[in-house]
């Protein structure tokens, strides 16, 4: 039987509905809820049994750790060893789409998949914050999709993937950002980006800039080339080893502005072709969506991947965006979807 799907006002969620969901979490059950990035699949991060349920219903590889969500940055010392860098970034970006990796408190060990570290964030969504405050627990929440599927940006996406396996789904409408949070290792003096997201490397670099005269790593950054100079280092998180974000249709990335022409060519070759581009779909091409800038593509991308599958598209052409700001995260997810 599908889970109850409860509509909540995204800005002022009904406290009775929030309390019902919090009770499920306190009892070790699973609740899907909206955040500003994507929908999360929540469970009590301090309970090995509750966290095991997340891994089971998502069919998630056991070595891929979960993000712990808090209602307030003031709770950070209860789940992790706080560093000066973490304090700076939390002050600047929380609540918001930034996840900090720090040494873990043993209390949240179930979320860490055997690592000594834990990933933590305070989401910027009134429903998520109300739920977290009501449970008074750190809540482990990966994206609420089956492993290997695009992350859900609406409650309907959650129902399609996990409707039969969760206790409750809170529907707060579409997620504002549409891509998962930026993940940053904040254990050292400088941020190391493990997954790109809406908090851009440019913004992190500016927030974590050392005081003048204390920048010993500057020469090293310059050696990476002018475009990368001053940006925090990018490394790969445990999750990036695993297959991710691959829809059932093929995805082809077209250069900016060339999507419609490329889709028309594929359609003429007899392939059922869809388009997500800056211009409308030409005749013979399935119109999946149009976007104006990188933020709009971020917002629409995962829904477009699902829509293309539903439309029976064989190959989905998506136009690239410039690799700057949130465009870096968009291109990262696009390349994963394309299997590139
Ligand atoms: O926006 C988001 O982050 C969403 C919402 C629900 O908050 N959550 C999300 O969770 O995207 P998930 O599980 O789909 O992605 C978590 C990412 C994975 O790449 C995982 O490997 C990484 O964070 N991660 C978690 N714990 C980590 C740790 N201790 N060290 C390094 N990476 C970690
Ligand atoms: Mg995920």
Q: Ligand 1 pocket, 178 CB below 6 A? A: no
Question: pLDDT tens digits for 27-62?
Answer: 999 999 999 999 999 999 999 999 999 999 999 999
Which of 132, 143, 329, 336 to mutate to test ligand 1, by most ligand atoms within 8 A of the CB atom? Answer: 143
Residue 74: exposure state from Cβ atoms within 10 A (0-12, 13-18, ≥19): exposed
Q: Decide: 34 in ligand 1 pocket, CB within 6 A.
A: no
Nearest ligand 1 atom, CA 183 = 23
Q: How much distance in Å is there from the Cα of 91 to the middle of ligand 2?
A: 25
Neighbouring C-alpha atoms within 13 Å toward the C-beta of 51: 25
Mean pLDDT of 70-95: 98
Element (H, E) at 289: strand 286-290
pLDDT computed for residue 240 by the predictor: 59
**118 pLDDT exceeds 80?**
yes
CA distance 24 to 32: 11
Given this model, what pLDDT does residue 225 score? 46
Q: Residue 27 Cα, ligand 2 centroid: separation in angstroms?
A: 24
Measure the CA–CA gap between 289 and 280, rounded to whole angstroms: 8
Beta-bridge partner residues of 284: none
Query: Which one is predicted more confidently, 236 or 104?
Result: 104
The three state secondary structure string of 146-210 is CCCCCCCCCHHHHHHHHCCCCCEEEECCCCCCCCCCEEEECCCCCCEEEECCCCCHHHHHHHCCC
Average pLDDT of every residue of the chain:
93
Residue with the bigger pLDDT between 212 and 101: it is 101
Instruction: Report pLDDT digits (tens) over 191-236.
Output: 999 999 999 999 999 999 876 655 555 444 444 444 466 799 999 7
Through-space distance between the first and last CA atoms of the chain, rounded to whole angstroms: 38
pLDDT mean over 140-162: 96
Taking alpha carbons only, the member of 249, 252, 208 closest to residue 85 is 208
Rounded Cα distance, 109 and 115, in Å: 8
Q: What is the pLDDT of residue 276?
A: 98
pLDDT confidence band for 175 (50 / 70 / 90): very high
What per-residue confidence (pLDDT) applies to 148? 85
What's the pLDDT band for 130 if we cut at 50, 70, 90? very high
pLDDT tens digits, 64-81: 999 999 999 999 999 999
> Considering only 90-94, 215-219, 261-265, 331-335, which range has the smallest mean pLDDT?
215-219
Nearest CA to ligand 1 atom 21: 239
The percentage of residues in the chain with a pLDDT greater than 90, rounded to a whole number, is 88
* pLDDT band per the 50, 70, 90 thresholds, residue 137: very high
Give the mean pLDDT of 78-98: 98
| 142 touches ligand 1 (CB under 6 Å) | yes
What percent of the chain clears pLDDT 70, i.e. is strictly above it? Answer: 92
- Does residue 102's CB lie within 6 angstroms of at least one atom of ligand 1? no
What pTM was computed for the model?
A: 0.94
- At 1 the pLDDT is 87
pLDDT digits (tens, 9 = 90+) for 262-304: 999 999 999 999 999 999 999 999 999 999 999 999 999 999 9
């Amino acid at each position: 039987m599908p889970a109850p799907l409860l509509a909540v006002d995204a800005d002022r969620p009904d406290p009775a509905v929030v309390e019902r969901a919090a009770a499920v979490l306190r009892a070790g059950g699973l609740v899907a809820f909206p955040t500003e990035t994507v929908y999360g699949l929540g469970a009590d991060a301090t309970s090995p049994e509750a966290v095991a349920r997340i891994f089971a219903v998502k069919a998630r590889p056991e070595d891929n750790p979960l993000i712990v969500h808090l209602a307030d940055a003031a709770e950070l010392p209860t789940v992790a060893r706080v560093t000066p860098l973490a304090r700076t970034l939390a002050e600047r970006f929380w609540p918001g789409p930034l996840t900090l990796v720090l040494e873990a408190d043993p209390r949240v060990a179930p979320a860490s998949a055997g690592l000594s570290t834990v990933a933590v964030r305070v989401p910027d969504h009134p429903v998520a914050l109300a739920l977290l405050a009501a449970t008074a627990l750190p809540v482990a929440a990966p994206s609420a999709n089956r492993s290997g599927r695009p992350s859900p940006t609406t409650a309907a996406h959650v129902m399609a993937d996990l409707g039969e396996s969760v206790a409750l789904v809170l529907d707060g409408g579409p997620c504002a950002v549409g891509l998962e949070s930026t993940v940053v290792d904040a254990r050292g003096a400088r941020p190391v980006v493990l997954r790109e997201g809406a908090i851009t490397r440019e913004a992190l670099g500016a927030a974590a800039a050392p005081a003048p005269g204390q920048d010993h790593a500057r020469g090293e950054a310059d050696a990476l080339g002018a475009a990368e100079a001053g940006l925090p280092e990018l490394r790969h998180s445990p999750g990036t080893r695993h297959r991710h974000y691959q829809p059932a249709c093929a995805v082809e990335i077209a250069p900016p502005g060339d999507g419609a022409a490329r889709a028309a060519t594929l359609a003429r070759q007899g392939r059922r072709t869809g388009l997500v581009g800056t211009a409308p779909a030409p005749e013979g091409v399935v119109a999946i969506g149009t976007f104006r800038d990188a933020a709009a593509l971020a917002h629409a991308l995962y829904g477009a991947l699902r829509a293309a599958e539903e439309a029976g598209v064989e190959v989905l052409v998506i136009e690239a965006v410039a690799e700057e700001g949130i465009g870096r995260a968009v291109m990262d997810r696009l390349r994963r979807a394309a299997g590139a």
